[in-house]
């Protein structure tokens, strides 16, 4: 993709952190290899999905993008800010331009504050409006996320999960961000409520030209929302490209297996292959060669020993595998999640 047009650039990012075990004496010390050379560019106004199993590094990458994780090497640049340099002024500017939406909507809110107070707190800290204008702006933000402004008087315990998540999104929007990182933000919600939150993101993206990094393990949700998708495995991006290209013709066996594992709504459709076998290896001890080779049905002898394949790119679609495009069978179309049209969750 054209890096010149990018809002965010991640360049060869490595993030390893030490862990020890064996009791108080710390008998062993090892290194968790959470990110292992991630490069990614995100355009302004684009929605990109980061997908992969637990432990793939997608949440760590989301936090590193926001300067919330100290990196081992590599760089993240956001709108000209070097996030990884650790300069206070740069990080303060980053905080003014980016926001995060978290997975658990009720736990992410302070139980002692009403929804309105929680939003007002952000407006006060970031000095977005004059103090006298805060109540009106709170009502505006609640309406923007599809909530009746009278719900601003309620504490999180008196709101549904979907309503709490809308309040979380309103808090994120209160800083008028250029980019939002949403980390598994619909995973804790019912399917119909997920649909409403996804529709809300689609609406907000169009109205506000938001750049959105959407971290999810649910590929059907990502297909509904995202322009592009990056598939992560053991701290690496193994495939990246336009969402429909990746879903209709995946080039990496891991992506193909993830797509096959999406539940089909039509019970008469027979899944073509067994879903992926086994668990991912521990990030404490990565396999030699291609990290996916212990689970890959297409692995050859060279996959066990050669260095991990780097991302090759053709037609704006990258993949890190020795296989050529078209080598994998075309998967069934994964069904986008049903979109509910009922009342605000
Ligand atoms: Fe499978 Fe080899 Fe491709 Fe890795 S490089 S995904 S082991 S075929």
Can you tell me the mean pLDDT for 300-328? 93
Of the two residues 120 and 267, the one the predictor is more confident about is: 120
pLDDT attached to residue 145: 92
Residue 340 has pLDDT above 50, yes or no: no
> Is any ligand 1 atom within 6 A of the Cβ of residue 156?
no
Q: Whose CA is nearest to atom 4 of ligand 1?
A: 290
> Is any ligand 1 atom within 6 A of the Cβ of residue 322?
yes
pLDDT attached to residue 252: 95
CA 294 to ligand 1 centroid distance, Å: 9
Residue 259 has pLDDT above 90, yes or no: no
**Rounded mean pLDDT of the chain?**
87
The helix/strand/coil state of 125 is helix
Helical axes 161-174 vs 191-208, angle rounded to 10°: 20
pLDDT attached to residue 269: 46
Question: Which residue among 321, 324, 325, 326 is best mutated to probe the pocket of ligand 1, counting the most ligand atoms within 8 A of its Cβ?
Answer: 321
pLDDT band at 120 (very low <50, low <70, confident <90, very high): very high
Q: For residue 250, give both structure tokens.
A: 């995946």
Q: Whose CA is nearest to atom 5 of ligand 1?
A: 321
pLDDT attached to residue 344: 44
> Is any ligand 1 atom within 6 A of the Cβ of residue 253?
yes
Q: Which of 233, 251, 254, 294 is nearest to 35 (CA)?
A: 233
Residue 3 has pLDDT above 80, yes or no: no
Q: What is the pTM of this model?
A: 0.88
CA 292 to ligand 1 centroid distance, Å: 6
- Could you count the other beta carbons within 10 Å of the beta carbon of residue 143? 12
- Could you count the other beta carbons within 10 Å of the beta carbon of residue 113? 15
Those residues with Cβ within 8 angstroms of residue 230's Cβ, 6 or more apart along the chain or in another chain: 40, 48, 49, 50, 51, 237, 239, 240
> Is any ligand 1 atom within 6 A of the Cβ of residue 323?
yes
Could you tell me if 180 and 97 are in contact, meaning their C-beta atoms sit under 8 angstroms apart?
A: no
> Is any ligand 1 atom within 6 A of the Cβ of residue 311?
no
Helical axes 161-174 vs 115-125, angle rounded to 10°: 20
Residue 328 has pLDDT above 80, yes or no: yes
CA 297 to ligand 1 centroid distance, Å: 8
The helix/strand/coil state of 40 is strand
Could you tell me if 196 and 338 are in contact, meaning their C-beta atoms sit under 8 angstroms apart?
A: no
> Is any ligand 1 atom within 6 A of the Cβ of residue 287?
no
CA 2 to ligand 1 centroid distance, Å: 27
What single-letter DSSP state applies at residue 286? P
CA 239 to ligand 1 centroid distance, Å: 12
> Is any ligand 1 atom within 6 A of the Cβ of residue 321?
yes
Distances (CA, A) of 325 to 158, 226, 229, 269, 318: 52, 22, 17, 25, 10
In the block, tokens 């800290």 appear at 125
Distance CA 89, CA 93 (A): 6
pLDDT tens digit sequence for 182-194: 998 888 888 888 8
- Could you count the other beta carbons within 10 Å of the beta carbon of residue 94? 22
Can you tell me the mean pLDDT for 274-300? 85
pLDDT tens digit sequence for 83-106: 888 888 888 889 999 999 988 877
The helix/strand/coil state of 252 is coil
- Could you count the other beta carbons within 10 Å of the beta carbon of residue 146? 20
Can you tell me the mean pLDDT for 315-329? 92
CA 309 to ligand 1 centroid distance, Å: 8
> Is any ligand 1 atom within 6 A of the Cβ of residue 291?
no
Question: Which residue among 256, 300, 304, 310 is best mutated to probe the pocket of ligand 1, counting the most ligand atoms within 8 A of its Cβ?
Answer: 300
> Is any ligand 1 atom within 6 A of the Cβ of residue 293?
yes
Residue 321 has pLDDT above 90, yes or no: yes
Q: For residue 5, give both structure tokens.
A: 């047009």
Distances (CA, A) of 288 to 282, 283, 298: 13, 12, 16
Q: For residue 181, give both structure tokens.
A: 């990182």
Can you tell me the mean pLDDT for 245-265? 85
> Is any ligand 1 atom within 6 A of the Cβ of residue 224?
no
Can you tell me the mean pLDDT for 39-57? 94
pLDDT tens digit sequence for 139-188: 999 999 999 999 999 999 999 999 999 999 999 999 999 999 999 888 88
* N residues, the chain: 345
pLDDT band at 280 (very low <50, low <70, confident <90, very high): confident
- Could you count the other beta carbons within 10 Å of the beta carbon of residue 87? 13
């Amino acid at each position: 993709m054209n890096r010149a047009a990018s809002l965010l650039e991640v360049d060869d990012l490595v993030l390893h952190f030490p862990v020890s075990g064996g009791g108080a004496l710390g008998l062993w010390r090892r290194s968790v290899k959470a990110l292992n050379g991630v490069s990614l560019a995100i355009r302004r106004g684009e929605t990109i999905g980061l997908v992969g199993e637990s432990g793939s590094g997608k949440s760590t990458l989301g936090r590193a993008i926001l300067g919330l994780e100290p990196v081992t090497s590599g760089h993240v640049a956001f709108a000209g800010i070097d996030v990884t340099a650790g300069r206070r002024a740069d990080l303060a500017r980053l905080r003014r331009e980016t926001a995060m939406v978290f997975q658990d909507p009720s736990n992410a809110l302070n139980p002692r504050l009403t929804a309105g107070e929680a939003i007002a707190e952000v407006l006060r800290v970031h000095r977005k409006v004059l103090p006298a204008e805060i109540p009106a702006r709170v009502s505006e933000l609640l309406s923007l996320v599809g909530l009746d402004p009278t719900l601003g008087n309620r504490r999180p315990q008196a709101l549904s999960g979907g309503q709490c998540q809308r309040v979380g999104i309103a808090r994120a929007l209160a800083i008028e961000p250029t980019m939002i990182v949403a980390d598994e933000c619909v995973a804790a919600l019912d399917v119909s409520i997920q649909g409403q939150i996804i529709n809300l993101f689609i609406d907000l993206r169009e109205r506000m030209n938001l750049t959105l990094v959407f971290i999810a393990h649910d590929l059907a949700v990502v297909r509904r929302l995202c322009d592009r998708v990056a598939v992560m495995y053991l701290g690496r991006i193994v495939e990246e490209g336009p969402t429909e290209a990746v879903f209709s013709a995946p080039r990496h066996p891991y992506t193909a297996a993830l797509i096959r594992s999406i539940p089909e709504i039509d019970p008469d459709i027979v899944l073509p292959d067994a879903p992926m076998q086994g668990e991912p290896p521990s990030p404490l001890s990565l396999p030699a060669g291609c990290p996916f080779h212990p689970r890959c049905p297409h692995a050859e002898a060279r996959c066990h020993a050669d260095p991990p394949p780097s991302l090759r790119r053709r037609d704006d679609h990258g993949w890190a595998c020795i296989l050529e495009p078209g080598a994998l069978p075309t998967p069934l179309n994964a069904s986008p999640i049903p979109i509910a049209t009922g009342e605000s969750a």
